[in-house]
Homo-oligomer: A and B are copies of this chain.
Amino acid sequence: MDFPTHTSAKLDETTKNLLNPDLLTNSEASAMESLDYDYIDSPLVLSEKKRLFQSSTYLMLLNVKLWVVTFLIGFITAMFGVFIDFVTNTIIKYKIILADMAYIHTQGAYWFPYIVLLSSNIILVGISSALVLWFAPAGGGSGIPEVKCYLNGIKVPEILRLRTLFVKSVGVILTVSGGLACGNEGPMIHIGSMVAAGISQGKSSTVPLVNTPVFTEFRNDHDKRDFVSGGAAAGIAGAFGAPIGGTLFSLEEGSSFWNQALTWRTFFCAVVAGFTLNTFLSGVRTHNWSPDDTSPSFQITDTSPTYSIPHVPFFILIGALGGILGSIFNQLNKLLMQFRKRINRMKIFRWLEALIIAGITATISFSVCYLAPGCVSIGNSTSTDDITFRDVGWYCGPGEKNQMAALFLGSGELSVKSLFNDNTFMSHTLLIYAVLYYLLSLITLGIAAPSGLLVPCLAVGGAYGRLIGQWLQPIMSDVNVHTFALVGAASFLGGTARMTISLCVILIETTGSVQRGLPIMVTLMVAKWVGDYFIHGIYDIHIELKKIPLLEWDPDHEMSDVRAEEIMADHVIWLYDVEKVLKIHTILQKTTHNGYPIISKDEVFQGLILRSQLVTLLYKRAFQNSKAPEEIPLVDLSEFSKYYPRSPGIESVQIYREDEDKFIDLRPYMNRTPYVIHNNATVERVFRLFRTMGLRHLPVINEKARIVGMITRRDLYNFQAKRNKNKLDRARKRRKSPNIEDVQYIEGQHSLNGISESTKLLSD
């Protein structure tokens, strides 16, 4: 099945010219496919729906399944949270007992406890990083950028695999207990999403044995994405115990295409997770099994007046400071990531990097505890740090405690809790901690191991917020340092991550401090405003670095001045509604598109068919000898979702020579009424339709109902990318593609010359 060389070359050239080095390339784009969130309204699907929906038993059963799956997602995600929390704290505890013994053994020397901590941290982080690098690369980092993208409508490869779930949950335990400047909250969001995907699909690509046919109804992009929304919310509920914040996170990230019923389900999922977490954590910790015993993660117990009007300007200033510090953090991390990308070509380098960072973190942490212990009387500290260096003094006098060690060597969660709650902190302790932890978080973010940014941000912000509060105390009356610590934490997290409402609610829920809601909100808003002036949020930066075509929430002003036809791909490759087998096969081999418009004999747009559907039709040999329609569709609906989420590639399909001239009637399978847009519509309108409906392909139609182009996520993303680079004029030039001579242009209809010729050659 060789093509004549010249047409093949021509075709390649055509394809090449569609690309622009600045922009997404085809191969990148095909690795990051969009979700098929829109329903396929094909006659086959609709008649099946009609049949099923007539049975009220079916509808009831579907509903029951929906809620059972949602419940399970919440429950199991929270169990992951309980497990991770328990094991992490246990490892840290024994690690510190070891170090305590070394300290006692050497009677307060530096080197022995240091060696113990250094080696144990390097081992823990080394295993975690190795797991990620050689077993499941998608398990690295926090996973929030990937979940954001998924909710935004993009399939990022591998992120929802069982294998990734395993690595992420084991890895995050090792990384956090390995003393790195990171937390488990981000990974928990990812874990929740993976649990949701796994349970709702009832099967695993990693372990083929796991395959229950109970939930086959949910094996499609639409339902899977909806469950993942719930899972992400459950992840936050299972990490922070913040179900409302979790629901809002999913809503904030996924609200471009959303519906009200989904809010309700997501909320239920998060409530189940929150309830399970509280109950089991209290059981594990206090053997009391009472959900109320577990106070919110970072509960602020202080009950004095929280703030007064004269403090508000300082909150605003702290918000601005958070915006600036966050922007610097983001910019530095961006440069670091770019540097990493250039030098870390081999996995072993990435692994060594993780080890080195673990070593640096351990060395700096320990040295600071030794050199600037910040000894305070034990009575002034909260009881939350009882697993840290309390009993042995650690370079402090009797009855004193090394507060620096409590901050640096315990878990990040405990540091935040102590920053929010402890009565005394020396200023220099806070200053040193804030600066060093800022730098450590900076280098940790982006290593090849599961690691979350939320807790480090709270710790850094909490430290400088509290410091500012302490500085203000002599000047102003009634300064509440706990409030200032919380405000600082909000400002820095807001300045880096830029989540707004969800973050605000998460902080309120986790601190149990509704009274401080208004200061948090004000600070967050200022931090976001200031930060947005300089640079994007950290998650968006990582998404950009990974070249994932995330679409923004809203259209820009410039979009009202550009038309659909100026950004669309105008080399449309279409099929007839009854099409020759060979032509379909050739087109699938020669192009990488995922959707093909279908036209009738008189060239009127008829509908849209997906690549995966076409491959299935070829694979199942749904061939007929004449063009006349068959009474019954030749392929059953279930065949199309059989291999979901993967679909067989075209290379797996073999066409026999005697089949080449046969036909496939595409009409029963295609989406006959996709949303379409007029070629003259503004890009703003295109954007709204595309985003709000969660589309993957948007056919562009002219006045006479002829298809003249296709718009995909890539076109909109490239438009936004170019605008960001002030290259708007280039977007316009694209329409006059230099290879227009390759394309036969007849009255609003495009045909790809190469393909139709080669098809003719072969079929002749």
Q: Among residues 580 to 606 in chain A, which have CB atoms less than 8 Å away from a CB atom of chain B?
A: 600, 604-606
Q: Which of A181-189, A192-200, A259-267 contacts B (4 or more CB under 8 A)?
A: A259-267
**From B263, B289, B307, B605, contact of A252 by CB (8 A):** B263
Assess whether A22 is interfacial by the CB under 8 Å rule: no
Since A271-B522, A293-B308 are in contact, a sample of 11 more A-B pairs with Cβ atoms closer than 8 Å, ordered by chain A residue number, is: A46-B560, A53-B558, A247-B501, A267-B521, A291-B309, A293-B305, A295-B515, A512-B514, A606-B703, A673-B680, A689-B693
Interchain CA distance A514-B508 in the complex, whole Å: 8
Q: Which 8 pairs between the two chains have the least Cβ-Cβ distance?
A: A260-B553, A673-B681, A705-B705, A290-B308, A673-B678, A512-B514, A271-B521, A53-B557
Name A682's closest neighbour in chain B (CB-CB).
B41
Interchain CA distance A625-B505 in the complex, whole Å: 63
How many residues of chain A are within 8 Å of chain B by beta carbon? 85
User: Would A243 and B673 be within 8 Å (CB), given that A260-B255, A279-B309 are in contact?
Assistant: no
User: Would A504 and B244 be within 8 Å (CB), given that A296-B514, A703-B705 are in contact?
Assistant: yes
* Interface 1/0 per residue, A667-685 and B, CB below 8 Å: 0000011011110111011
* Interface 1/0 per residue, A557-580 and B, CB below 8 Å: 110110000000000000000000
Name A50's closest neighbour in chain B (CB-CB).
B561
Q: Would you give 28 A-B contacts (Cβ < 8 Å), ordered by A?
A: A41-B685, A46-B561, A53-B560, A53-B561, A243-B517, A244-B504, A244-B508, A255-B255, A255-B258, A255-B263, A260-B554, A261-B554, A274-B517, A275-B518, A289-B309, A292-B305, A292-B306, A508-B514, A509-B514, A512-B515, A514-B514, A604-B704, A672-B678, A672-B680, A675-B675, A675-B685, A701-B705, A703-B705
Assess whether A408 is interfacial by the CB under 8 Å rule: no
User: Would A50 and B560 be within 8 Å (CB), given that A41-B685, A291-B307 are in contact?
Assistant: yes
Name A510's closest neighbour in chain B (CB-CB).
B514
Q: Among residues 263 to 296 in chain A, which have CB atoms less than 8 Å away from a CB atom of chain B?
A: 263-264, 267-268, 271, 274-275, 278-279, 289-293, 295-296
Q: Among residues 486 to 543 in chain A, which have CB atoms less than 8 Å away from a CB atom of chain B?
A: 500-501, 504-505, 508-509, 512-515, 517-518, 521-522, 525
Interchain CA distance A512-B517 in the complex, whole Å: 10
Contacts of A675 in B (CB 8 A): 675, 685, 689
The oligomer's copy count stands at 2
Q: Which residues of A contact B (CB under 8 A)?
A: 39, 41, 46, 49-50, 53, 59, 243-244, 247-248, 251-252, 255-261, 263-264, 267-268, 271, 274-275, 278-279, 289-293, 295-296, 305-309, 500-501, 504-505, 508-509, 512-515, 517-518, 521-522, 525, 553-554, 557-558, 560-561, 600, 604-606, 672-673, 675-678, 680-682, 684-685, 688-689, 692-693, 701, 703-705
User: Would A290 and B271 be within 8 Å (CB), given that A561-B50, A604-B703 are in contact?
Assistant: no
Name A691's closest neighbour in chain B (CB-CB).
B259
Contacts of A46 in B (CB 8 A): 560-561, 682
Asked if B501 and A244 make an inter-chain contact with CB atoms under 8 angstroms apart, the answer reads yes
Name A605's closest neighbour in chain B (CB-CB).
B703
Interchain CA distance A326-B141 in the complex, whole Å: 48
